[in-house]
Amino acid sequence: MQSLKVSIFENSTEASAAGYSYVAPVKPAVLQEAVIVRNGTKGGNATVDLVFTDMQGNKYVAMVTANLLKSLPL
């Protein structure tokens, strides 16, 4: 994947109106750790792995590139 569509909304009402809604229930999770891998991609770019844990102890990982994080207009 070379690109990712990023949609930014002011609030959940705007996101829902644009068709972004979730069928599955949202489970609370705590961000436990952020792991930065300097050469995380084949091209040698940095990645950030976000490690979450839910109330049952299940772990989830979301990986994003550092360039993607830097490019977000927040």
Query: Strand, helix or coil at 2?
Result: coil
User: Domain for residue 4, yes or no?
Assistant: no
User: Domain for residue 35, yes or no?
Assistant: yes
Q: Give 8-47 pLDDT, tens digit per residue.
A: 888 778 888 888 876 667 778 999 999 988 888 888 888 8
User: Domain for residue 5, yes or no?
Assistant: no
User: Domain for residue 67, yes or no?
Assistant: yes
Alpha-carbon distance values, 53 to 13, 23, 43, 65 (Å): 27, 21, 30, 21
For the whole prediction, is pTM greater than 0.85? no
Q: Please list, in sequence order, all residues whose beta carbon lies within 8 angstroms of the beta carbon of residue 15, skipping any fewer than 6 positions away.
A: 7, 9, 21
User: Domain for residue 63, yes or no?
Assistant: yes
Q: Give 50-64 pLDDT, tens digit per residue.
A: 899 999 999 999 888
User: Domain for residue 2, yes or no?
Assistant: no
User: Domain for residue 50, yes or no?
Assistant: yes
Domain range for residue 58? 27-71
Q: Please list, in sequence order, all residues whose beta carbon lies within 8 angstroms of the beta carbon of residue 47, skipping any fewer than 6 positions away.
A: 36, 37, 40, 41, 63, 64, 65, 66
Domain count, the chain: 1
